[in-house]
Amino acid sequence: MKKVCVCVVVCLLAAAWSMQSASALPPFNKEWMDKYNEGKKNAAFTEAKCNICHAGESKKMKNEYGKAVGKYLTKAKYKAIQEDESKAKQYILEGLQKAEGEKGSAGKSYGDLLKAGKLPGGK
């Protein structure tokens, strides 16, 4: 009985932790789409969704653009300011702006790729 209780507690903790880990992602994606794909004019951006920054099935895997964005946007910092919507939005937009200046392996800045309507992560 003791093993069953421990197992249930561990499962509940794991479920709670996994739900919290994804809580910062929707605001990042929303602000990204509002900034770079207003009105969903670029079908490639709309279709790529989370794969603009992420690679593969796991959201822990990031492409090179996602790694650049990750230098400026962290879940911990976002969670600390998320209650103040204007401050959180400003944080996200500033992080995206800084990532635009980074260059990918092809030698072009992510900002140039985005302005050209190309996916910055290489897909």
Tens of pLDDT along 45-78? 999 988 899 987 788 899 999 999 999 999 999 9
Q: Residue 13 domain-assigned?
A: no
Give helix 25-36 / helix 85-100 axis angle, nearest 10°. Answer: 60
Please indicate, yes or no, if residue 91 is contained in any of the structural domains.
yes
pLDDT at 103 over 80: yes
Please, which pLDDT band fits residue 86 given cuts at 50, 70 and 90? very high
Query: Is position 69 within any domain?
Result: yes
Q: Which two tokens stand for residue 32?
A: 């990204």
Q: What's the structural domain count of the chain?
A: 1
Report the pLDDT averaged over residues 79-86.
Answer: 94
Query: Using the 8-state DSSP alphabet, how is residue 49 labeled?
Result: G
